């Protein structure tokens, strides 16, 4: 009987340990993101720019929300409006959690994108979306922090030009850590899923 009691206690303890280990593994399970996980990278540490209301902004200002940063320019014919429209869908799909999403559009064309023009452009997609800008030096500094490429490309008419630029989206968690990089046209459903996990 004594041996049976010891064996039973051993089995019960082993079972309890197995259950605890399974629960711990479930807690430590990493999220499965659609976007590229860039957690811990040195990208995007500098976002010191001014919004279209003349307010200086840094990453600290957006803590508590999922921050989406996208680089582009107002006269962009396709990539920029597509990306902004996609995040309108994402915000709507999040329902009440959409209030915890902040989209920040950083212009790589401060020469033409004045605060007024930037405000009119960005807020036509959603009133909560922000436009950020700086002078040429500030724009270059912030773009370097994100490893974003941009360059002026002369147009057909004298004095006209367009801008080539990196077409990707940087996504921060509510603690202010850069977590994800999403390629252009990732899709609203995939982005919504990723952002839900970060929230």
- pLDDT, tens digit only, all 199 positions of the chain: 555 454 444 444 544 444 444 444 445 567 789 999 999 999 999 999 999 999 999 999 999 999 999 999 999 999 999 999 999 999 999 999 999 999 999 999 999 999 999 999 999 999 999 999 999 999 999 999 999 999 999 988 888 899 999 989 999 999 999 999 998 888 889 999 999 999 9
* pLDDT at residue 25, as a whole number: 45
Phi, psi of 161 (to 5 degrees): -160, 165
* DSSP at 29: P
Q: What does each C-alpha distance from 105 to 15, 102, 173 come to in angstroms?
A: 53, 10, 17
CA 19/CA 123 separation, integer angstroms: 51
| Residues that constitute the known binding site for Cu cation | 76, 80, 165
* pLDDT at residue 123, as a whole number: 97
Pairing, β 161-165 against β 150-154: antiparallel
* pLDDT at residue 70, as a whole number: 96
For tokens 């079972």, the residue is 15
Residues sharing a CB contact under 8 Å with residue 10, sequence separation 6 or more, in sequence order: none
CA 194/CA 107 separation, integer angstroms: 25
């Amino acid at each position: 009987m004594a041996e049976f009691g010891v064996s039973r206690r051993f089995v019960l303890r082993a079972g309890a340990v197995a259950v605890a280990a399974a629960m711990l593994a479930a807690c430590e399970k990493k999220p499965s993101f659609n976007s590229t996980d860039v957690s811990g990278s040195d990208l995007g540490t500098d976002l010191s720019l001014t919004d279209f209301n003349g307010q200086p902004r840094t990453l600290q200002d957006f803590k508590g929300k999922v921050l989406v940063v996208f680089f582009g320019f107002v006269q962009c014919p396709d990539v920029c409006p597509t990306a902004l429209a996609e995040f309108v869908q994402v915000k709507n799909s999040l329902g009440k959690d959409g209030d915890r999403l902040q989209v920040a559009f950083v212009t790589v064309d401060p020469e033409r994108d004045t605060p007024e023009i930037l405000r009119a452009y960005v807020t036509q997609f959603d009133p909560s979306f922000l436009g950020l800008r700086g002078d040429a030096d500030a724009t270059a500094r912030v773009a370097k922090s994100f490893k974003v490429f941009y360059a002026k490309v002369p147009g057909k008419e004298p004095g006209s030009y367009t801008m080539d630029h990196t077409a990707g989206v940087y996504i921060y968690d509510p603690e202010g850590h850069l977590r994800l990089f999403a390629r252009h046209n990732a899709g609203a459903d995939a982005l919504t899923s990723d952002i839900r996990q970060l929230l």
